[in-house]
Amino acid sequence: MTESVSDSAQGVLSLALLLKQSEQRIRLRLQPALDEAGLTLEHWWIMSVLHERPGIGMSPLAEAAAVPSATLTRHMDKLVERGMIVRRIDPGDKRRVVAALSPTGEALADRLRHEERQIEAAIAAGLGEQRFRALSRELALLPHALG
């Protein structure tokens, strides 16, 4: 017996599990580009945030990249070592460290973002553009709804 998409969406799977399954499918599509760049998905999440928000501090970076603070330093050290990220003392608060992408990191982030856009285009083609935009808006609200 085959199950339609709408039937499976009404099933008993939890939202957390559905999100994890979706993340896994996206990860599989993005993994070849990450492997080629020698990055993990967590590295990409960090770089993606820095691509959009250069000069961000470590705590907000950990939160925005959905990377545990306890492991952020290890990931950052690796990315700095590879020349992808630069860390600086915040000129406004000498006690704080901020980070940004290096020119090499910017170029790689542009290439990886292009890969992500292709994955998003495939999702939009499957859902329809209007439903994809609505899903993106709703997912952007989810962290705020959870506090």
What pLDDT, on a 0 to 100 scale, did the predictor assign at position 137?
95
pTM for the predicted model, two decimal places: 0.84
Name the residue ranges covered by the structural domains of the chain: 30-145
Torsion angle, CA of 27/32/37/40, rounded to 10 degrees?
30
Alpha-carbon separation of residue 113 from 74, 101, 119, 122 (angstroms)? 23, 14, 10, 14
One of 2.60.40.2480, 1.10.10.10, 3.20.20.60, 3.40.50.720 is the CATH number of 30-145, namely 1.10.10.10
Strand order in the sheet with 93-101: 56-57, 93-101, 85-90
Judged by average pLDDT, the poorest of 89-93, 102-106, 118-122, 138-142 is: 89-93
pLDDT in tens, 37-73: 999 999 999 999 999 999 999 999 999 999 999 899 9
- Reply yes or no on whether the pLDDT at 124 is more than 60: yes
Beta bridge partners of 85: 101
Torsion sign (Cα): 86, 23, 70, 33: negative
